[in-house]
Structure 1
Amino acid sequence: MIIPVLTASRPGGEERHHGDRAASADESITAWALAARGGDPAAVDRFVRALHRDVVRYVAHLSADPQAADDLAQDTFLRALGSLHRFEGRSSARTWLLAIARRAVIDSLRHAAARPRASEAADWRSAVELAQPRGLPGFDDGVALLDLLAALPGDRREAFVLTQMMGLSYAEAALIGDCPVGTVRSRVARARATLIALLAEAEAQARVRATDLRSAA
């Protein structure tokens, strides 16, 4: 089975239309961030509401810990609002905020490494299932996307999530990851190839199980 979210590209007109809408949304969010910097409380609320879901998704995938996503998102926004006076709109507010989220995750991982905490594997698996994205095109209900993504190296997972799931451009992902655009493209290509191979393997195993069940019936 070919997975559209991994392999298919939009028709040119639709892709441009999607890009125009995304650019328009980013312009509005950036304008709210600049207004929030000036002390507009309504703009602060719009800015946070507009990007909260993106931040939660990003930190959940980057940290590979869905249970920590809300705390990491809160930390991200506290950091952002505390440094909003330094935001000048040179990049989109979304890109600026996700770069802050990335630093929040890195700091959290360093803290966890310094003070390791025990966790029950069963609880972790349950949390992953509860956080599993639904309705993504091309993925059957039996395929856990988070499990597939968890098999990727962190840098490839981050590049794939930013560009293929959150819709950021390669240039924006490069700014967030502090690396060249070509590096992002390479990471996404390798992540896509790995995910397709993992999915094919999972489907082959499912066919074998189905054959065994029919034979046993």
Structure 2
Amino acid sequence: MITPVLPVSRRGGEKRDEGNRALSADDSITAWALAARAGDPAAVDHFVRALHRDVVRFVAHLSADPQAADDLAQDTFLRALGSLHRFEGRSSARAWLLSIARRAVIDSLRHAAARPRSSDAADWQSAAERAQPCGLPGFDDGIALLDLLAALPDDRREAFVLTQVMGLPYAEAALVSDCPVGTVRSRVARARSALVALLAEAEDRAAAEVEATTTRAAA
């Protein structure tokens, strides 16, 4: 039996508590970014440490090349630290940094498209498994989330990852993706519908395999 891996709904009180904790964390990270902009080296360290995991996860999902996630994350932070003087705190530092990560991925894909590939046989699935965080709330270990997301169009995968995996509010996800909030909501809804269908297909295949195995054993 394959267990559905889409995030499950929580009670209203739990949602509010989690939202408040996320808001508090984002406020702290934004404060560190502003302090880092002012030249505080300790704030730079706090800022990088607080968002490094989020950036690695985001670029791994977005680029469909988790093996390059560390390099893309490093590029993201180099760009961000070089642009801190332009950060004014009008959005959260998390949303600002993820928008930079998005540009880093796009630039990397454009660069890759302009040069010959050395190999087209990379083991994307096993690399994705290594990049996927363990113990992600709302997901079962029976199916790799990345396997399902890989089947989605890029724009829907990005919207789903930003809002459902990384926990960004829709408004901030819209800033990262440079599109209206309504577009993000539509992409997430379509992504969820597609993932539910993919889960149903996977469960049907698993059931068929079990039945075939049982039939062969009884023959």
The TM-score, its normalising length taken from structure 1, stands at 0.94
Asked whether the equivalents of residues 3 and 138 of structure 1 are also in contact (C-alpha less than 8 Å), the reply is no
- Matched residues in 2 for 1:4 and 1:202: separation? 12
Asked whether the equivalents of residues 2 and 138 of structure 1 are also in contact (C-alpha less than 8 Å), the reply is no
- Matched residues in 2 for 1:119 and 1:109: separation? 15
Alignment of 1:187-198 (within 5 A): 187-198=187-198
* 1:85-128 CA-partner distances (Å, limit 9, x unpaired): 11000001001000000000000000000013132525333322
SS of the aligned residue for 1:83 comes to: helix
- Matched residues in 1 for 2:181 and 2:192: separation? 17
Partner of residue 36, structure 1:
36
Report the alpha carbon displacement of residue 2 of structure 1 after superposing the two structures with TM: 7.1
* 1:108-167 CA-partner distances (Å, limit 9, x unpaired): 000000013132525333322322443345544342211110000000000000000011
- Matched residues in 2 for 1:210 and 1:66: separation? 32
- Matched residues in 2 for 1:80 and 1:3: separation? 37
Matched residue type, 2:115: R
Aligned length: 216
**% identical equivalent positions:** 79
The TM-score, its normalising length taken from structure 2, stands at 0.93
Alignment of 1:178-217 (within 5 A): 178-217=178-217
Asked whether the equivalents of residues 159 and 173 of structure 1 are also in contact (C-alpha less than 8 Å), the reply is yes
Partner of residue 168, structure 1:
168
Change in Cα spacing, 1:41 to 1:136, as seen in structure 2 (3 Å) is closer
- Matched residues in 2 for 1:125 and 1:4: separation? 17
- Matched residues in 1 for 2:207 and 2:136: separation? 22
Asked whether the equivalents of residues 30 and 93 of structure 2 are also in contact (C-alpha less than 8 Å), the reply is yes
* 1:10-32 CA-partner distances (Å, limit 9, x unpaired): 21111011010000000100000
> In the alignment, is residue 3 of structure 1 matched against residue 33 of structure 2?
no
Partner of residue 96, structure 2:
96
Change in Cα spacing, 1:132 to 1:90, as seen in structure 2 (3 Å) is closer
Q: Which stretches in structure 2 are left out of the alignment for 5+ residues?
A: none
SS of the aligned residue for 2:6 comes to: helix
Asked whether the equivalents of residues 36 and 44 of structure 1 are also in contact (C-alpha less than 8 Å), the reply is yes
Query: Runs of 4+ in structure 1 displaced over 4 angstroms?
Result: 137-140
Matched residue type, 2:89: G
Partner of residue 130, structure 2:
130
Matched residue type, 1:145: L
Partner of residue 25, structure 1:
25
* 1:52-103 CA-partner distances (Å, limit 9, x unpaired): 0000000000001000000000000000000101100000100100000000
Change in Cα spacing, 1:208 to 1:152, as seen in structure 2 (3 Å) is same
- Matched residues in 2 for 1:159 and 1:16: separation? 22
**RMSD over aligned Cα, in angstroms?**
1.6
* 1:158-215 CA-partner distances (Å, limit 9, x unpaired): 0000000011100010000010100000000000000110011001100000011111
- Matched residues in 1 for 2:134 and 2:158: separation? 19
Change in Cα spacing, 1:112 to 1:29, as seen in structure 2 (3 Å) is same
